[in-house]
Amino acid sequence: MLKKSTLVLWGVVLFVAWNALLLFFLWTRPPAFDNHSHLTEEVIRLAQDAELELEHQKDLLQQIHRYSALWSKKRKKVEETGRLPPPAAASNTGALPATEVVPPQSRASPDAVLPVVVIACDRSTVRRCLDKLLHYRPSRERFPIIVSQDCGHEETARVIASYGDAVMHIKQPDLSDIPVPTDHRKFQGYYKIARHYRWALSQVFRTFQYQAAIVVEDDLEVAPDFFEYFQAAFPLLLADPSLWCVSAWNDNGKEQMVEASRPELLYRTDFFPGLGWLLLSELWDELEPKWPRAFWDDWMRQPEQRRGRSCIRPEVSRTMTFGRKGVSHGQFFDQYLKFIKLNDRFVPFTQLDLSYLKKEEYERSFLPKVYNAPQLRVEDLQGNQHRELGTVRVQYSSRDSFKAFAKALGVMDDLKSGVPRAGYRGIVSFLYRGRRVYLAPPSDWTGYDPSWS
């Protein structure tokens, strides 16, 4: 068995050797240009390629050290107990079996401080976000507000500073452009957002040593029971290892598609919603070493990150976005985001029993409710027929049928690694013309197909 020092030594040797070969290749590469302009372009391109590769190698070296430490802990446990720990039992969440895990038990206590981390850049309208957070915050001690600002925008910085000690203002120090592949130059903003998230979350969990955090962006307005919701759901996140986040967002939360008269309804979802979400420090321990250079939210939705786990999400969203300005240039906002219903009624979640959201209990009640519902064709729903049936189910059996039915019924039709927005075990729950509809796969569904994207 390799010792820890030997493993680290080999990792470092491989790291140095790879970079030596890379530099040798770049220096000895024959010129393929005729004039000085081509020479300049080639040098810039090679420099960008080298920087990208060095960044990759840096991540690789960090992983070598991380896994070396983990292996050392595992060896110590073997020496103390005389045997290897038993393998984690596979869960039946519908994710790919090879990526399912049982995370380590959280270090946090149910009454831990839950800081709200506001990710800010150059929107001076962050005032709207902060005003609502401060207005609805029940406790300054339980819910400190940390505003992490990127971009160096002076007007936005002045707005944040105007709140004095009501919020903590931290500034992302690296404002440089990021070398990106030529075909990604238009996505520079997404690279900077991912860099900012990594820095901000590292400050929260590494520097400030918090055990959990609620993440919002500077263009989100929160509901009156935003804090109540997260405070009540936090113990559930601690207790159920099949959960990895609590989100304030319903991707299918348009006003006509939610039961606004029942704002207490909560669901499990296999789709990472974001847009106001709670995570534990243990999850950041897992994600930080492999954090992506761009498109972090879609990266979170990949099976390798989700690993069979789910999030809690509400029927009626506890956040809404007012930020038309952004890296997506407002297209998604105009088409969809501005129509999301923000809950306006306070629900005393901390006085409710939320144990029904634990995996086993949830599936015992939710799945029969779905598959005992009468099956109806999309055409009948659109024609408002068979109203006497009440709640109904529309069944899909392929990627194309899901997308066609979703589009016909007004549901978000995109899939990420096969997972539909707001879906659980492939089931999407919503209202259509005032009645509950479950857009669902067959009852013998066995898991998500990542090629459905």
Q: What is the band of 16 on the pLDDT scale with cuts at 50, 70, 90?
A: low
Q: What amino acid is encoded at 275 in this protein?
A: L
Burial of 416 (C-beta count, 10 Å sphere; 0-12/13-18/19+):
buried
Residue 91 has pLDDT above 50, yes or no: no
First to last CA, the chain: 42
Q: What is the band of 96 on the pLDDT scale with cuts at 50, 70, 90?
A: very low
Burial of 7 (C-beta count, 10 Å sphere; 0-12/13-18/19+):
middle
Give the Cα separation of 450 and 427 in Å (integer). Answer: 16
Return the half-sphere exposure (C-beta side, CA atoms, 13 A cut-off) of residue 169.
Answer: 15
Residue 335 has pLDDT above 70, yes or no: yes
Q: What is the band of 333 on the pLDDT scale with cuts at 50, 70, 90?
A: confident
Q: How far is CA 233 from the centre of its chain?
A: 17
Higher local confidence (pLDDT), 218 or 333: 218
Structure tokens at 443: 């009852």
The pLDDT, as a whole number, for residue 84 is 33
The pLDDT, as a whole number, for residue 299 is 98
Burial 78-87 (b: 16+ CB within 10 A, else e): eeeeeeeeee
Structure tokens at 203: 């400050």
Structure tokens at 111: 């009454």
3-state DSSP of the chain: CCCHHHHHHHHHHHHHHHHHHHHHHHHHCCCCCCCHHHHHHHHHHHHHHHHHHHHHHHHHHHHHHHHHHHHHHHHHHHHHHCCCCCCCCCCCCCCCHHHCCCCCCCCCCCCCCCCEEEEECCCCCHHHHHHHHHHHCCCCCCCCEEEEECCCCHHHHHHHHCCHHHCEEEECCCCCCCCCCHHHHHHHHHHHHHHHHHHHHHHHHHHCCCCEEEEEECCEEECCCHHHHHHHHHHHHHHCCCEEEEECCCCCCEHHHCCCCCCCCEEEECCCCCCCEEEEHHHHHHHHHHCCCCCHHHHHCCHHHHCCCEEEEECCECEEECCCCCCCCCHHHHHCHHHECECCCCCCHHHCCCHHHCHHHHHHHHHHHHHCCCECCHHHHHCCCCHHHCCEEEECCCHHHHHHHHHHHCCCCCEECCEECCCECCEEEEEECCEEEEEECCCCCCCCCCCCC
Q: Give the residue-averaged pLDDT of 77-101.
A: 39
Average pLDDT, the chain: 85
Check if the beta carbon of residue 373 is closer than 8 Å to that of residue 391.
Answer: yes
φ, ψ dihedrals at 19, nearest 5°: -70, -35
Check if the beta carbon of residue 111 is closer than 8 Å to that of residue 94.
Answer: no
Q: Which of these ranges, 54-63, 101-110, 380-389, has the smallest mean pLDDT?
A: 54-63
User: Per-residue pLDDT tens for 195-239?
Assistant: 999 999 999 999 999 999 999 999 999 999 999 999 999 999 999
Q: Which of these ranges, 3-17, 145-159, 323-337, 366-380, has the smallest mean pLDDT?
A: 3-17
The pLDDT, as a whole number, for residue 445 is 97
The pLDDT, as a whole number, for residue 295 is 97
Share of the chain above pLDDT 70, in %: 75
The pLDDT, as a whole number, for residue 62 is 54
Predicted structure pTM score: 0.78
User: Per-residue pLDDT tens for 119-171?
Assistant: 999 999 999 999 999 999 999 999 999 999 999 999 999 999 999 999 999 99
User: Per-residue pLDDT tens for 396-425?
Assistant: 999 999 999 999 999 999 999 999 999 999
Structure tokens at 166: 């009501």
Share of the chain above pLDDT 90, in %: 72
The pLDDT, as a whole number, for residue 67 is 44
Return the half-sphere exposure (C-beta side, CA atoms, 13 A cut-off) of residue 268.
Answer: 28
Check if the beta carbon of residue 204 is closer than 8 Å to that of residue 115.
Answer: yes
The pLDDT, as a whole number, for residue 332 is 73
Catalytic residues: 297
User: Per-residue pLDDT tens for 51-62?
Assistant: 445 454 555 455
Other beta carbons within 10 Å of 322? 16
Q: Give the residue-averaged pLDDT of 376-401.
A: 97
Cα angle: 233, vertex 237, 238; to 5 degrees: 120
